[in-house]
Structure 1
Amino acid sequence: MSELNPRTTHYEFMGPPGAFAVTFGVPFLTFGLSLACSEASGGCPNSWWDIPPNLIKAVSSLDWWFSLFDLQAFVLYLAWYAFCVVSWAILPGAWVEGSLMRNGQKKLYKINAFSTLLLVLGITGGTLWSKGPAIFTVIYDRWIGLVTASVIMSFAQAFYVYAMSFQPGKLLALGGNSGNFIYDFYIGRELNPSVGSFDIKCFNELRPGLILWAIINFAMACEQYTRLGAVTDSMILINAFQFFYVADALYNEPSVLTTMDITTDGFGFMLAIGDLAWVPFIYSLQARYLAFHPVELGPVFTSLVLALNVTGYYIFRVANAEKDDFRNGRNPKNLTFMVTARGTKLLTSGWWGRSRHPNYLGDLLMSVAWSLTTGFSTPITYFYPVYFLVLLIHRQLRDDENCYKKYGADWEKYKALVPWRIIPYVY
């Protein structure tokens, strides 16, 4: 095992100080955006510089600190997570092999995330029919308590998997075995922490956070409806865009098994807080804003935003389909490729000939379309595409570094054939 789990000698995120800063910075930013851009604080600020005064005003109140923990919200969140686990266990699903690991083994993953979504839709529809939209406004009313619950769950899981990673026979992530507690806790020490056949990392990647994101958006539409007696075109768009994005990810669940998160990164606080808190409570920022600040886009602007989102989705889906076909030994478009000294084939035409990460380009276009649904009254609702651009550039740099270590001189040859990183002719 010592040969399979060499000591990590290269730090990312500026090492332990950076890991410490992000560990506390992400929860702080999650609470900060929730507090600064809220109905209670007077709405979303007109500039980023207005956020600090709003935060200072909030944290200076003792009542605010007591309001962070909401027992009902905490129980509600735990019930939601438990529901997702039970759904994974009882709903039928195929068992699919993951990528070959360096110990010569392949893990089996149960594929039934889309079935879980369908079950949630059925329960949601039945509840809406029998109880009306007002019952879903509990998510808007207990927002901060739910955020707190997700952060607590993130810390609890990160501590648990870190402690369990010291059991004999564990396969560790190559990047998470530095021996520094702060860094390894954040990055993730064990590659695939599991309880029996239940893989914690893969489960969190697609289920509790992504599906909750769609539920939150729907709850924000219900909140708007209870106030206005109608739902605006902008709220319909953001729900449709993001629900389709979530449903697409869950329907194509096997695709996640070849991503860096699953094949390379360990499961630590970085992925825990991202999956459980950041995704559902930051990605739903636009819908939450529209719940208390309704925006009517009109037919012309609606058409433009719709066209941008469809374009982004087309690029995202077609590019991923090309990659998945090629990795599974299919090449229906007769795309060109180069063969490395390792025997690996790298695509050099199609969308993967236009840039090394064309799926990121599609993701970025969709993120801009989502923010455009909120109009131009505040820059805060445009936080997501700005953050997402930084995230994708960082992921691209990590991927380039890993590929250079893997392919050496062949990677330089590939970069000469496909010079653009994400956006063709721009970056």
Structure 2
Amino acid sequence: MSSSKAVAKTAELNPRTTAYEFLGPPGALFVTLTVPTVTYALYFGCSEATGCRPDLSAIPDQIVTSLSDPAWWKGLWDTQAALIYLAWYAFCVVAWAILPGDRVEGTTLRTGEKKKYKINAFSTFLLALGLTSGTIYRYGPSAFTFLYEKWVGFVTASILMSIVQAFYCYAFSFQKGKLLALGGNSGNFIYDFFIGRELNPSVGSLDLKSFNELRPGLILWVLINISMACEQAVRRGGLDKVTDSMWLVLAFQGWYVADGLYNESALFTTMDITTDGFGFMLAVGDLAWVPFTYSLQARYLAFKHVELGYARTAAILLVNLAGYYIFRDANGEKNDFRNGKNPKNLQFFTTESGSKLLTSGWWGLSQHPNYFGDLLMALAWSLPTGFDTPITYFYVCYFAVLLAHRQRRDDENCHKKYGKDWEKYKKLVPYRIIPYIY
């Protein structure tokens, strides 16, 4: 193929991005700066020192004082925490490489090819849990409190890892033959660095996007929760003294992570994998935001020991089970339908392009019933912390905004894909996430 034809083919596969998300480069820069800032702020605003009830009137002065103090900036770095984090990331890579696992195909790319993924995230999770449990059993809970003690250092290490990977992926996306994300080829550095320029950046056969999505951050989230329970156990005099509220958080979030890792193959049909590039947005989300903000409830309970009792424990458990049932059953209906199965004889709407959209079952109640289940579970994760502070409900509030944004992105993509048929579909299924409400 001549060089001119190769250039033309590349341009055809990788057209220039013409529409921005997040309000374009200014919005991308804002989120790039805000995510690390909020991650730190949730610690400094909800810590044992503040009791998770900071004096709002004093915050501006505290921010100015901290930012102008070199010692405060120096305190964000912890060499030991950085080395431990690097070792943890290396452990995940080695586990991916040596543990057995099937290879599954993803969706068809614009090149007509299908990328193959090695799935063994659940095995990696079990190995990490086994090593952690062995350490606690052998040396006691005090041996695993370092994640609580060196929190800020671990946050800094994870953010630096996100920055390094985002720059790496952006730089190597300019190599010849790279398949770019349709939304990440604007030509603006700030925007493309944030949103992700290359669709599937890899190091050898290691796909960075799917690897980061499920392993280092998601598994670390559970390990952080265990560390918080160990911190509480040390303070209360043993693992048998850990509160019912802490056990609920560990069980709910641990099960959620285990379920996602066990169903790893379902990841490869999500928008993150099929559509989005891998840039700072996904890198910092996977590696820093998920483990260090989603574990806020467990960190709070490490120093605020909430006793729920049987009645409140049962009520919260019911909320979580309802959310999980909706989430899992709705996803089961969708996955069966995509694979040509319809065991429930669900009704569907056929578009002019031949695509079929479910209009009954959970998918007849709302366009994203799985998001509704997710929100119920998010609420259940916050309820064990009680009502002394609204900060521990940050996750469910943030998650509601995130899911509403995802729904709007999906709506825009479906408008482009299905045209007038999408409007017909929305008349059949008018509610976006919460049936009969939104």
Q: TM-score range by the shorter chain?
A: over 0.9
The alpha-carbon distance between structure 1 residues 90 and 239, as it changes in their structure 2 partners (threshold 3 A), is same
Name the structure 2 match of 1:404.
415
Name the structure 2 match of 1:7.
16
Match of 1:252 among 263, 281, 286: 263
Q: Which runs of 5+ in 2 are unaligned?
A: 1-9
Whole-Å separation in 2 of the counterparts to 1:91 and 1:53: 51
Contact 1:176 1:187 in 2 (8 A): yes
- For 1:249, the aligned partner's letter is G
SS at match of 2:154: helix
Q: How far is the alpha carbon of 1:182 from its aligned partner?
A: 0.1
Name the structure 1 match of 2:5.
none
Contact 1:48 1:380 in 2 (8 A): no
Whole-Å separation in 2 of the counterparts to 1:69 and 1:340: 55
Whole-Å separation in 1 of the counterparts to 2:165 and 2:157: 12
Equivalent residues in 2 for 1:111-260, closer than 5 Å: 111-229=119-237, 230-260=241-271
Contact 2:45 2:54 in 1 (8 A): no
Whole-Å separation in 1 of the counterparts to 2:57 and 2:195: 31
Q: How far is the alpha carbon of 1:124 from its aligned partner?
A: 1.1
The alpha-carbon distance between structure 1 residues 295 and 336, as it changes in their structure 2 partners (threshold 3 A), is same
Name the structure 1 match of 2:430.
419
SS at match of 2:107: coil
Equivalent residues in 2 for 1:19-418, closer than 5 Å: 19-39=28-48, 41-45=49-53, 52=60, 55-56=63-64, 58-229=66-237, 230-418=241-429
Name the structure 1 match of 2:4.
none
The alpha-carbon distance between structure 1 residues 424 and 48, as it changes in their structure 2 partners (threshold 3 A), is farther
Q: How far is the alpha carbon of 1:60 from its aligned partner?
A: 4.6
1:369-427 deviations in whole A, cap 9, x for unaligned?
11111000101001001100000000000000000100101111111111100001111
TM-score by length of 1: 0.98
Q: How far is the alpha carbon of 1:49 from its aligned partner?
A: 6.3
Q: How far is the alpha carbon of 1:121 from its aligned partner?
A: 1.4
Percentage identity across paired residues of the two chains: 68
SS at match of 1:99: strand
Whole-Å separation in 2 of the counterparts to 1:209 and 1:153: 11
The alpha-carbon distance between structure 1 residues 302 and 50, as it changes in their structure 2 partners (threshold 3 A), is farther
- For 1:420, the aligned partner's letter is Y
Contact 1:36 1:54 in 2 (8 A): no
The alpha-carbon distance between structure 1 residues 125 and 384, as it changes in their structure 2 partners (threshold 3 A), is same
Contact 1:47 1:380 in 2 (8 A): no
Contact 1:214 1:239 in 2 (8 A): yes
- For 2:156, the aligned partner's letter is T
Whole-Å separation in 1 of the counterparts to 2:371 and 2:58: 31
- For 1:294, the aligned partner's letter is H
1:331-371 deviations in whole A, cap 9, x for unaligned?
11111111111111111111011100000000000111111
Whole-Å separation in 2 of the counterparts to 1:354 and 1:262: 26
Contact 1:46 1:378 in 2 (8 A): no
- For 1:395, the aligned partner's letter is R
Contact 1:220 1:288 in 2 (8 A): yes
TM-score by length of 2: 0.95
SS at match of 1:341: coil
Whole-Å separation in 2 of the counterparts to 1:390 and 1:212: 24
- For 2:379, the aligned partner's letter is V
SS at match of 2:430: coil
The alpha-carbon distance between structure 1 residues 285 and 53, as it changes in their structure 2 partners (threshold 3 A), is farther
Q: How far is the alpha carbon of 1:135 from its aligned partner?
A: 0.8
Contact 1:311 1:362 in 2 (8 A): yes
Contact 1:45 1:51 in 2 (8 A): no
Q: How far is the alpha carbon of 1:56 from its aligned partner?
A: 4.5
- For 1:267, the aligned partner's letter is F
Whole-Å separation in 2 of the counterparts to 1:51 and 1:66: 20
Q: Which runs of 5+ in 1 are unaligned?
A: none
1:244-273 deviations in whole A, cap 9, x for unaligned?
000000000011100000000000000000
- For 1:13, the aligned partner's letter is F
Q: How far is the alpha carbon of 1:36 from its aligned partner?
A: 1.2
SS at match of 1:273: helix
The alpha-carbon distance between structure 1 residues 19 and 49, as it changes in their structure 2 partners (threshold 3 A), is farther
Q: How far is the alpha carbon of 1:172 from its aligned partner?
A: 0.3
SS at match of 1:107: strand
Contact 2:46 2:54 in 1 (8 A): no
> How well do the aligned residues superpose, as a CA RMSD in angstroms?
1.2
Q: How far is the alpha carbon of 1:164 from its aligned partner?
A: 0.5
Whole-Å separation in 1 of the counterparts to 2:58 and 2:207: 42
